[in-house]
Structure 1
């Protein structure tokens, strides 16, 4: 995995964490609601996982956002 890939995964993790915190959920609560283990949620948030699309969809549903919102990188010019 190259540096760009690692940065992308970290960005996805950051967006998951931001949304989770905005909803006042713990990693364990998010994992339980999404049917995923809390350690999996933590590794996604740290950018350690190349999360599968179906798992991303589960997280997005609980976080009440479209999956694309978790994948979309912010526009550096905005």
Structure 2
């Protein structure tokens, strides 16, 4: 397995953290999100921890499950992750 570059790893960690904040704000468990994305909870846990990335199709589905705009998973501030019903 190739080593992950420092910047890419940092981006994965930030993306996973933002997903975790949005998940918690939505009142969902890792298992609920993993089930909705049709993946194992451990795989989703590793994504939130910044250890794994997700395909873009899963990122779009994740935003739908969390009811946030997909760009909110990448942009600052984390206040955008409180959910969007608009």
What is the TM-score when the length of structure 2 is the normalising length? 0.77
State the secondary structure of the residue aligned to 2:72.
helix
Counting matched residue pairs gives 74
CA distance in structure 2 between the aligned counterparts of 1:71 and 1:23, rounded to whole angstroms: 17
1:17-56 to 2 correspondences below 5 Å: 17-56=20-59
Q: Cα distance, 1:46 vs. partner?
A: 0.5
What is the TM-score when the length of structure 1 is the normalising length? 0.84
Backbone CA RMSD of aligned residues: 1.4
Stretches of structure 2 lacking an aligned partner (at least 5 in a row): 78-86
Stretches of structure 1 lacking an aligned partner (at least 5 in a row): none
